[in-house]
Structure 1
C-alpha cells in the first residue's frame, strides 16, 4: 500500500467518525459541523475563483454574508425574533455583492455554501427522525459515489459528460442510482416496516442530484483550471472535492421540503417532515 493511499484511508476514517458522531449527537454538535462545512466551502469557492485579489468587494461582502449565515445556523435555537432581520441583511449583502462583483461566480458562492450549511442543519434538526433522514442522505450519496466509480470502471461505455468529467460513464451513473436505492432502502428499513415507492423515487432523485453536484464541481474546477478545491484534507484535496454530491443532494432535499411541506405521506413524512423539526 502506497503512502498516499494510506493517507487517504486514514483521513477518510477520521472524517467519517467525526461526521457520524456529530450526526448522532445532533444539536449544537451537528450545527457546528454544518457551519464549519459552509464556511470551508465558501473559502474554497473564493480560492478557486481568485476573489480575494480579483474581486475584493464581492469577496468581503460574501464573507460578511457567510458570517451571518454561520451565526444563524449556530444560534437557531431561541433567536426567531431576529431571524427575519438577519436574513434581510444576508439578502442585502448578496445583492450588493452581485451588483459590485466583477465576476458573477463570486456572489454565487454564498448561495452554494450557505444553502449547504442551512440544508444540513435543517435536515438533521434535533430529533431521531432527523438523524435517520441525514443517514438516509449520506447512504444515498455515498452509495452513488462508490457504485458509480466501480461500475464505471468495470463496464465502461458511453461517457456521461466528456467535456466536463471524461472519466464518468452512463453505466456508472446507472449503477450509482441503483446502489442509492438499495442503500437508502436499507436505512429506511431500520426505521420503517417497509419501503414505499416514494422512498425509492426520493433516493433516485437525490442520487441524480448528487451526480449533478459532482459534475458541477468538476465544471467549476475545469473552468478555473484547478485540480483540487484546496488541500485541507490530506490525500483528498478540499472539502468541496469530498462533498460535491452531498451539496446538491441535501440542498435538493431541503428545497423539496420547502416546496412540498404539505405532503403528508411516504417520503414526505420521512424526509420532508424530518426537515421541519
Structure 2
C-alpha cells in the first residue's frame, strides 16, 4: 500500500468519524460543523476564482456575509441565516451590476452560505432530523462509490466529456440505482415502511448529487486547477469531498421550501418532506 493511499484512507476515516459523531450529537456540535464547512467552502471558492485579485472589497463583503451566516448558525440556531443570505445576495448582485464586477461573487456567497444553512436545517434538533441526515448521506455516498465502480466496470458512453472525462452514463445510472437502494434500505430499517414518494425523492437527490459533482468539476476546469485546495491530506479540498452532498442538501432544502409554500404546510421539516409525514 502506497503512502498516498494510506493518507487518503486515514483522512477519510477521520472525516467520517467527525461527521458521523457530529450528526449523532446534533445541536450545537453539528451546527459548528455546518458553519465551518460554509467558511471553508467560501475560502476555496474565493481562492479558485481569484476573488481577491478581481476585487478585494467585493471579496471582503463576501467573507463578511459568510462569517455572519456562520456565527448565526452557531449562536442563534440559524434563525437569521436565510435573511442574511438573501440580503447578501441582493447586495452582491447590485455590486456586480453597478461596478461591473464578477458574478463569481454572488455565486460563491450562495454556494457557501446555502451549504451551511441547508445542512443545519436538515439535521435540525430532533431524531427525525438525524434520520433525514443519514438518509442524504446514504444517497450521496452510495451514489458516489457505486458510480465509480460501475463506471469503471462497464465503461460505455461518457456522461460529460468536456467537464469530467472519466464519468460515464453507466456509472451515473449505477450510482443512482445504488443511492436509491441504500436510502430505501435505511428508511425501511428505521420506519418499517417505504413510500413511492421517498423513493422518488431519493432519485432526485442522487441526480442532484451527481450534478453537484459535475458543477465542481466545471469550476475547477474553468480556472485550471486540479483540487479545490490541499486542506485534506490525500483528498484535495473540502469542495472536492462535499460537492455531491452540497447539491443534494440544496435540493432537499429548497424542495421542502417550495412544497411548504405551495401547500401551505409552513411548519413542515425537511425530514417530514423526505418521509411524507
**TM-score using structure 1 length:** 0.91
Answer whether contact 1:124 1:274 (CA < 8 A) is retained.
Answer: no
Answer whether contact 1:8 1:234 (CA < 8 A) is retained.
Answer: yes
Match of 2:120 in 1: 121
Match of 2:69 in 1: 69
In structure 1, C-alpha distance between the alignment counterparts of 2:194 and 2:217, rounded to whole Å: 33
Match of 2:88 in 1: 90
Q: 1:51 to 1:190 in 2, by over 3 A?
A: same
Q: CA deviation at 1:13?
A: 0.1
Q: 1:83 to 1:124 in 2, by over 3 A?
A: closer
Answer whether contact 1:34 1:121 (CA < 8 A) is retained.
Answer: yes
Q: 1:86 to 1:115 in 2, by over 3 A?
A: closer
2:193 corresponds to 1:190? no
Answer whether contact 1:40 1:239 (CA < 8 A) is retained.
Answer: yes
Answer whether contact 1:55 1:101 (CA < 8 A) is retained.
Answer: no
Written as runs of structure 1 = structure 2, the 5 A alignment for 1:162-181 is 162-181=161-180
Written as runs of structure 1 = structure 2, the 5 A alignment for 1:131-142 is 131-142=130-141
**How many pairs were matched up?**
271
Written as runs of structure 1 = structure 2, the 5 A alignment for 1:217-228 is 217-228=216-227
Answer whether contact 2:256 2:269 (CA < 8 A) is retained.
Answer: no
Match of 1:38 in 2: 38
Answer whether contact 1:137 1:250 (CA < 8 A) is retained.
Answer: yes
Q: CA deviation at 1:94?
A: 2.7
In structure 2, C-alpha distance between the alignment counterparts of 1:84 and 1:41, rounded to whole Å: 17
SS at match of 2:191: coil
In structure 1, C-alpha distance between the alignment counterparts of 2:168 and 2:269, rounded to whole Å: 34
Q: 1:89 to 1:170 in 2, by over 3 A?
A: closer
In structure 2, C-alpha distance between the alignment counterparts of 1:44 and 1:131, rounded to whole Å: 28
Moved more, 103-112 or 222-231: 103-112
Answer whether contact 1:65 1:93 (CA < 8 A) is retained.
Answer: no
Any unmatched runs of 5+ in structure 2? none
Q: 1:83 to 1:162 in 2, by over 3 A?
A: closer
Answer whether contact 2:11 2:232 (CA < 8 A) is retained.
Answer: yes
Q: 1:89 to 1:63 in 2, by over 3 A?
A: same
Q: CA deviation at 1:85?
A: 6.9
SS at match of 2:190: coil
Q: CA RMSD in A?
A: 2.3
Q: 1:68 to 1:101 in 2, by over 3 A?
A: farther
**TM-score using structure 2 length:** 0.91
In structure 2, C-alpha distance between the alignment counterparts of 1:72 and 1:245, rounded to whole Å: 25
